[in-house]
Structure 1
Amino acid sequence: MNCLIVESNATLGSLWQRHLERIGARVRVATTGERALNLIQALPFDVIVLDLVLSEGSALAVADLAHYRQPQANVVFVTDTTFFSDGSIFQHSPNARAFLMSATPPDDLAAIVMHYGGRSHARAGHRDQTPD
């Protein structure tokens, strides 16, 4: 399973990366929207963990490009705010599969990513391209 983490807080992104790699995911981390957009255009991802509030760039632009370029990629949104806490993110982003708080325990996040990444992985017919 190929996973992209888009998280401005590099420490948090690295924490999530370690937990996902422990369960066998191949993970790339982008700390800006621009870097995430470049990775989405270059590499296939089964699941994208996307912070809704990026310090540089737009999370919705990242989700939109992912939906266009990689419609099979599932997006797990995370946030530390109450913005979109009403669930409306699912109306704005057709590839949204989950909406979690950033403080969600990393093991729980990893289980959710594995659940949605595995579904995408099976639909896509397992792509063997590893994001390096």
Structure 2
Amino acid sequence: MKLLLIEDDPALQATLQRTLERRGMRVATCSDGARALERWQAAVPDVVLLDLSLPGLDGLKVLERARAEGLTTPVIVLTARGTIGDRIIGLNTGADDYLPKPFDLDELEARIRALARRHAQAGAAPAAPEFAGLRCDPDSGAVYFRGEAMELPPREATLLRALLQRPGHALAKERLFETVFPGQPEVQLEAIEVVAYRLRKRLAPTGVQLVTLRGLGYLLKAPA
């Protein structure tokens, strides 16, 4: 079982990673909310363990953006925010379970395995988005064109994955900016235009067009 642990407390992160790996799980870690979504998309795990109080980008924002991008991975929120109101907000945002700190490690393991079982039984694994010969692998995040992997820099790959979720539909520049540059207020909105320009050149051999619609955003258009 593959886990993504998003936790900024170094001691707790190390303890959880060591304990869960001893129990037969593979644990990738991330301590920065701004990079969490990128790690999540790059290698989709079976379960995400998410702290809410993160530097760079709050855990609820990470979860909200992940669900908006079509990531259906089960999420267990681990947080010191233990009030009923906080739990309701987390569950309404898209969390599948909620475990307030401090918690028992045996209970955490049981919840992880139960959640993974329910997700597998429901057949909730996301389908691979496809469009005009382009296909995004939901597990690895890699993008293929007619069966061959495309060599894309991380930002261009993130932009293309987002567009593949709704091919033929315009996605707002602001929404795509938040996906490609999460939690980076120092970056100007115009930076997404540079990424789009570079992606457009990468897509040229495929015949798929990245179209700019003034006032609306970007969309993928199939070859004529």
Number of equivalenced pairs: 125
- Structure number with bigger Rg: 2
The answer to whether the aligner puts 1:75 opposite 2:75 as a matched pair is: yes
Instruction: Provide closer, same or farther for how the CA distance between residues 53 and 105 of structure 1 changes in structure 2, counting only shifts above 3 A.
Output: same
Unaligned runs of 5+ in 2: 127-137, 141-224
Partners of 2:49 and 2:117 in 1: how far apart? 14
Specify the SS of the correspondent of 2:12: helix
Q: SS of the counterpart of 1:44? A: coil
Percent same amino acid among aligned pairs? 30
- Distance in 1, Cα, partners of 2:77 & 2:88: 11
- Alignment RMSD: 2.3
User: Which one has more relative contact order, counting CA pairs under 8 Å at least 6 apart?
Assistant: 1
Q: Which amino acid aligns with 2:36?
A: A
CA contact (8 A) 1:74 1:97 kept: yes
The corresponding residue for 1:87 is 88
TM-score normalised over the length of structure 2: 0.50
Q: Which stretches in structure 1 are left out of the alignment for 5+ residues?
A: none
CA distance in 2, matches of 1:32, 1:8: 7
The one-letter code matched in structure 1 to 2:91 is F
1:21 maps to what in 2? 21
Deviation at 1:86, TM superposition (A): 5.1
1:25-72 Cα offsets, whole Å, 9 max, x none, are 21111011122122012111111110111133221222123322421x
* One-letter amino acid matched to 2:60: L
Secondary structure of residue in 2 paired with 1:88: helix
Q: Residues of 1 paired with 2:2 and 2:76: CA distance?
A: 14
Give me the whole-angstrom Cα distance separating, in 2, the residues matched to 1:76 and 1:42: 19
- What SS does the aligned partner of 1:87 have? helix
- Cα 1:128–1:53 shift into 2, 3 Å: closer
Letter aligned with residue 119 of structure 1:
R
